[in-house]
């Protein structure tokens, strides 16, 4: 039976990826920081290992014997990285190198490094393809870019079969309520005000987490060593447009929206060209309006998951 190690697998995207695996033996490694939640794995057949991706000794015990390692372990919230960058560098860059070394030493056949469109910085028009230079503008993005570059170095220098995926903004059930959609939804459900940064004109590309996971599975199957693959979304919206849709779905009005000071170095727009992955057969399946309504419904029906 195929054995898959999912690092950061108790988090939002990692747990959805573990949930999407069938007829395989799944190991989840997670440090269980504030955003990691073992309840996210309810119903998933897996072996759980509580630990840090930076712990080389632990990885020497856990990694051997797996056919695929997918690295979701990361500090991921830009606002938190602005307040304190050190932990982001430790987990996202050093943690990636530590994991890759363990995979190399154990002879793991395939590794996927899960990354973000934020490593490119900001783009006014058009979309990035995979040849675009990385120009990160936040500590979070810089730390992720560092992990990606280490992955490419391990592919080139050591011949490790590691591919990199870069994706836009994810949404869906079980996302920790610090990111904009779960933050706004949980506040709107309580009748509380939501904070909209600046003029609300920052543009993001939205993808349902299940479509993202489908793209990662395809890269795990067909991705080439050292190559980057984009996984684009189904809706490119300003934050103001997104807010309007959330208000409509939640049955609330604009009087609950509070414009707040923009965050430091706030990238204006992200956009990915995913032609490379589509050539391998990738197609997103969840339309944004459908996925957003289902996501809001999930939070409305699972208040016990987020109310604490």
Active site residues: 117-118, 140
**Alpha-helical segments (H) within the chain:** 12-20, 56-62, 78-83, 86-88, 95-106, 139-158, 180-189, 209-222, 239-250, 275-278, 288-301, 303-306
Q: Which residues of 82-96 are buried (b: 16+ CB within 10 A; e: fewer)?
A: beebeebbbbbbbbb
Burial of 45 (0-12, 13-18, 19+ CB in 10 A): exposed
The answer to whether 231 and 215 have CB atoms below 8 angstroms apart is yes
Angle between helices 209-222 and 12-20 (to 10 degrees): 60
Cα–Cα distance for residue pair 98/54, rounded to 1 Å? 6
Residue corresponding to tokens 């994810």: 170
User: What is each CA distance from 75 to 82, 152, 217, in whole angstroms?
Assistant: 12, 20, 22
CA end-to-end distance (rounded Å), the chain = 38
- Listing DSSP states for 242-253 in one string gives HHHHHHHHHT--
């Amino acid at each position: 039976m195929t054995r898959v190690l999912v690092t950061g697998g108790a988090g939002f995207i990692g747990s959805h990826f573990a949930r999407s695996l069938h007829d395989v033996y799944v190991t989840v490694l997670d440090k269980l920081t504030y955003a990691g939640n073992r309840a996210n794995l309810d119903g998933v057949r897996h072996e759980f290992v509580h630990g840090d991706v930076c712990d080389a000794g632990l990885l020497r015990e856990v990694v051997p014997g797996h056919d695929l390692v997918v690295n979701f372990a990361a500090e991921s919230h830009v606002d938190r990285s602005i307040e304190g960058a050190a932990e982001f560098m430790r987990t996202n860059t050093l943690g990636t190198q530590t994991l890759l070394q363990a995979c190399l030493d154990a002879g793991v056949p395939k590794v996927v490094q899960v990354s973000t469109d934020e490593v490119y910085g900001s783009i006014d028009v058009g979309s990035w393809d995979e040849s675009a230079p990385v120009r990160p503008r936040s500590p979070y993005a810089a730390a992720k870019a560092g992990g990606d570059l280490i992955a490419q170095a391990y592919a080139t220098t050591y011949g490790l079969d590691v591919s990199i995926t870069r994706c836009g903004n994810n949404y869906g059930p079980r996302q920790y309520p610090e990111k904009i959609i779960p933050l706004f939804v949980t506040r709107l459900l309580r009748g509380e005000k939501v904070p909209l940064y600046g003029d609300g004109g920052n543009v993001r590309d939205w993808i349902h987490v299940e479509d993202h996971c489908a793209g990662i599975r395809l890269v795990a199957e067909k991705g080439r060593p050292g190559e980057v693959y984009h996984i684009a979304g189904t809706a490119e919206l300003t934050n103001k447009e997104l807010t309007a849709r959330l208000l409509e779905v939640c049955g609330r009005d604009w009087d609950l929206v509070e414009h707040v000071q923009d965050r430091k170095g706030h990238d204006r727009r992200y956009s990915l060209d995913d032609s490379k992955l589509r050539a391998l057969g990738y197609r997103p399946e969840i339309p944004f309006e459908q996925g957003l309504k289902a996501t809001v419904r999930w939070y409305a029906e699972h208040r016990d998951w987020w109310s604490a």
